[in-house]
Amino acid sequence: MNDIYILGIESSCDETSVSIVKNGYDEIATVILSQIDIHKNFGGVVPEIASRNHVQNITIVIEECLTKAHMTMKEIDAIAVTYGPGLIGSLLVGLEAAKTLSFVYKKPLVPVHHILGHIYANNLVKPLKFPLISLVISGGHTELVFMQDHLKFQKLGATLDDAVGECYDKVARVMNIPYPGGPIVDQYAHEGKPNYKLPIPLDDGSFNFSFSGLKSAVINLVHNEQQRGNEINKKNLAASFQNVVIETLTHKTMQALEKYHVKNLIVAGGVAANKGIREKFTLLCEKSGIDLSFPEMKYCTDNAAMIAAVGYYLFRAGKTSNLELNSKSTSDLK
C-alpha cells in the first residue's frame, strides 16, 4: 500500500499548529506557535485576541511546516482539521485555512474532533492496542472513553462541571501563580506535604467527575486564611490539591478498566503532562498488569501532529467532508 501523508491543522484554543504525519504514526514535521506569552498578561486565554493571532500566524505556520518537511502540497493526500470543540473564532481560522487548501489543491478535507486528536497523540508513541480505555484530561475536558477499535468509541463518563486543567489553572490563580498554572502547581506539589484537608470530589460509583467543589474549597481556604492574616503554604496546598485530583482520577479509571475487562490504558490531554499523575498511574498499572501509554510531553498540550495522526484513520474510513463543514464550539465525541 502507498504511504499516506496527512497535513493536520489545529487552532482550537491558543496554539496555531500544523503537522505532516505519514500513515497515522510517523511524524514528518510539526510546527506549534503558542500564544501563552500573550495571554499570560490576562490570566487566561482571551478568545478575541486568540483568533486575531491565529489569523496572523496560520499561513506562516503552514509554510514553515511544509518547508521543514521538504514537501509541497502536491505530495499531501488529505487535510485534517479540528472542527471542534474549542473557541469558535479560533476554530474558524484553522477551518477556513484547511478549506482553502482543500479547494485550491483539490485535496480531501477530513474533520477531526479535538478529543479524538488528544487520544491519538498516543499513536505517535506506540500503536494503540484495543480494546482500550482513555482518560482525557485537559484544560477543557475530563473524559473516560472506551474504544473497541480505531474510531469506535463510547463515552463512559465526563466532568459535570470544571475540567481538571481548568481547576489547576484557577487554583494556581488564587495562589498568584501565572497562567497556565498547571505545571507550576505540579512542581510545588512535589516539594510540599499534603497536610491541608480538602473534600473528595464526586464518589458516586459512576464514571463522571466533578471538580468545582474541590476548586471552591481551595479558593475559600486561601481567602479565609488571608482574612485571618495567615500565610498560606503554597507548596503544601498544591500537594494537598494534587493528591485529591490524583486519587479521584486514578480511582475511577482503574474501576473502569476492571469493569470493562480492559488491559490497555492511555492517558491524554494537557494534564497528562502532570508528573504526579504519571507516577501514580505507572505504579497502579504495573501492579495490575495494565499496558499504560502517555503522549510525549510536547504532545500532551494542543498540537496538529495528533490531528494528522487520527486524520489518517478517518481518511481511510472515508470520513471526509465537503466545503460546507462548519466549526462547533461544543461537540460530543460521536
Closer Cβ to Zn ion, 142 or 243, answer by number:
142
Subset of residues 7 to 36 that bind ligand KG4, contact rule: CB under 6 A: 13
In the complex, what is the shortest distance from the CB of residue 50 to ligand KG4, in angstroms, rounded to a whole number?
Answer: 12
Q: Report, in Å, the least distance between residue 227 CB and ligand KG4.
A: 27
Nearer to ligand KG4, 258 or 279 (CB): 279
The footprint of ligand KG4 on this chain (CB under 6 A) covers a number of residues equal to 20
Rg (CA), the chain: 20
Cα separation, 133 vs 265, whole angstroms = 5
Whole-angstrom distance, CA of residue 152 vs CA of residue 134: 12
Scanning 54-62, 139-147, 280-288, 318-326 for contacts with ligand KG4 by CB under 6 A, the matching segment is 139-147
Region binding ligand KG4 by CB under 6 A among candidate stretches 59-67, 154-162, 164-172, 315-323: 164-172
201 part of the interface to ligand KG4, by CB under 6 A: no
Residue the block writes with cell 478568545? 47
Interface with ligand KG4 includes 165 (CB under 6 A)?
Answer: yes
Contacts 24+ apart (CB under 8 A), 61-65: 61/16, 61/17, 61/18, 61/31, 61/33, 62/7, 62/9, 62/18, 62/97, 62/101, 64/18, 64/31, 65/7, 65/18, 65/19, 65/20, 65/29, 65/30, 65/31, 65/304
Residue 197: CB minimum distance to ligand KG4, A: 21
- Give the footprint of ligand KG4 on residues 285-314 (CB under 6 A): 301-302
Report which residue's Cβ sits closest to ligand KG4.
270
Q: Which of 302, 304, 307, 308 binds Zn ion (CB under 5 A)?
A: 302
Residue 169 interacts with ligand KG4 (CB under 6 A): yes or no:
yes
Question: With CB cut-offs between 5 and 8 Å by kind, which of ligand KG4, Zn ion, none does residue 168 bind?
Answer: ligand KG4
Given the rule CB under 6 A, which of 97-105, 210-218, 264-272, 282-290 is the region that contacts ligand KG4? 264-272
Near ligand KG4 by CB under 6 A, which window of 39-47, 62-70, 175-183, 254-262? 175-183
Q: Is the dihedral of CA 149, 151, 153, 158 positive or negative?
A: positive
Side by side, which strands form the sheet with 15-22? Answer: 26-34, 15-22, 5-10, 78-84, 109-113
Smallest gap from Cβ 119 to ligand KG4, in A, equals: 12
27 contact choice in ligand KG4, Zn ion, none (CB below 5 to 8 Å, kind-dependent): none
In the set 10, 27, 162, 186, which binds ligand KG4 (CB under 6 A)? 186
Q: Which residues contact 170 (CB under 8 A, 6 or more apart)?
A: 162, 215, 219
273 binds ligand KG4 (CB under 6 A): yes
Smallest distance from the beta carbon of 302 to ligand KG4, in angstroms? 4
Q: Which one of 46-54, 68-76, 269-277, 304-312 is the stretch in contact with ligand KG4 (CB under 6 A)?
A: 269-277
47 lies in the site for ligand KG4, by CB under 6 A:
no
166: contact with Zn ion by CB under 5 A: no
Interacting residue ranges for ligand KG4, rule: CB under 6 A: 13, 138-141, 165, 168-169, 180-183, 186, 269-271, 273-274, 301-302
Interacting residue ranges for Zn ion, rule: CB under 5 A: 138, 302
